């Protein structure tokens, strides 16, 4: 996909979403919700799929990874590009990422985003639409970045594997410009700083993953 020029307003909104408002402190009700979620029996895919369907063929309503996560997806309201759900067991779809070919799935690291750390390369990811349609992806790569200015919407990011430093615009293009991928995003906590870094888990269409695996044999 050809890289497009991003406006300053777009970069500002991108910066806000990459920040994920992670400075919010855990409270007792959040801790209780997380404990209850851990105690819940993991649903089958059929059970989960049925639970999130609402007839809307144009909207992704849930994401499922066996024994890792089974979460409903909420949409950002129009005109509110920085919205991020505070529901303990819900993921927010990043509307702007859709413009660049990616299904962006965001969550706080102290809520549903905690489960993103359990994702592994090779995991199968299933998206469920409101009408029951299913799209299947496979986790292809996991990226971990340090935010050099954790609370700035214009922070640059250092790749923890390569030490390469990327601007907020370069980071956005790296993880959200695609031809149909799914990107999970949450923050990485370190030394008490909830927004110290960012985790990006990128899943590609299953057919593409299988073709790459065949080429590498």
Residue ranges of domains in the chain, CATH in brackets: 8-215 (2.40.260.10)
pLDDT value at residue 151? 81
The per-residue pLDDT for range 146-156, each reduced to its tens digit, is 999 988 888 89
pLDDT-derived band at 181, boundaries 50, 70, 90: very high
DSSP letters spanning the chain? -PPPPPPHHHHHHHHHHHHTTTTPPP-HHHHHHHHHHHHSPPPPHHHHHHHH--S-TTSEEEEEETTTEEEEEEEPPTT-TT-----TT-EEEEHHHHTTT-EEEE--TTTGGGGGGG--TT-EEEEEETTS-EEEEEEEEEEEEEESSTT-TT--EEETTT--EE-HHHHHHHHH-SSS-EEEEEEEEETTEEEEEEEEEEEEEHHHHHHHHHHT-
pLDDT value at residue 17? 62
- What average pLDDT does the structure give for the chain? 85
The per-residue pLDDT for range 60-112, each reduced to its tens digit, is 999 999 999 999 999 988 876 677 888 888 999 998 899 999 999 999 998 99
Cβ density class 61-100: b for 16+ within 10 Å, e for less: bbbbbeebbbbbbbebeeeebbbbbeebbebbbbbbbeeb
86 touches 111 (CB < 8 A): yes
Q: How far apart are CA 98 and CA 114, in angstroms?
A: 23
The per-residue pLDDT for range 15-24, each reduced to its tens digit, is 666 765 444 4
pLDDT value at residue 22? 47
pLDDT-derived band at 32, boundaries 50, 70, 90: very low
């Amino acid at each position: 996909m050809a890289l497009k020029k991003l406006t300053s307003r777009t970069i500002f909104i991108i910066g806000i979403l990459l920040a994920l408002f992670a400075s919010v402190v855990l409270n007792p009700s959040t801790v209780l919700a997380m404990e209850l979620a851990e105690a819940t029996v993991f649903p089958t895919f059929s059970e989960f799929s049925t639970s999130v369907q609402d007839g809307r063929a144009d909207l992704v309503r849930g994401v499922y990874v066996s024994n890792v996560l089974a979460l409903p997806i909420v949409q950002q309201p129009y005109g509110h590009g920085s919205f991020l759900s505070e529901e303990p067991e819900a993921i927010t779809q990043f509307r702007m990422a859709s413009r660049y070919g990616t299904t962006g799935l965001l969550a706080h690291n102290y809520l549903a985003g905690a489960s993103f750390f359990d994702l592994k390369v090779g995991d199968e990811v299933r998206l469920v639409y409101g009408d029951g349609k299913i799209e299947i992806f496979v986790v292809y790569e996991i990226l971990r970045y340090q935010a050099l200015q954790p609370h700035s919407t214009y922070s640059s990011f250092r790749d923890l594997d390569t030490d390469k430093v990327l601007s907020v615009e370069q980071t956005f293009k790296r993880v959200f410009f695609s031809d149909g991928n799914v990107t999970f995003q949450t923050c990485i906590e370190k030394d008490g700083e909830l927004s110290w870094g960012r985790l990006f888990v990128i899943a590609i269409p299953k057919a593409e993953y299988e073709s790459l695996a065949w080429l590498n044999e």
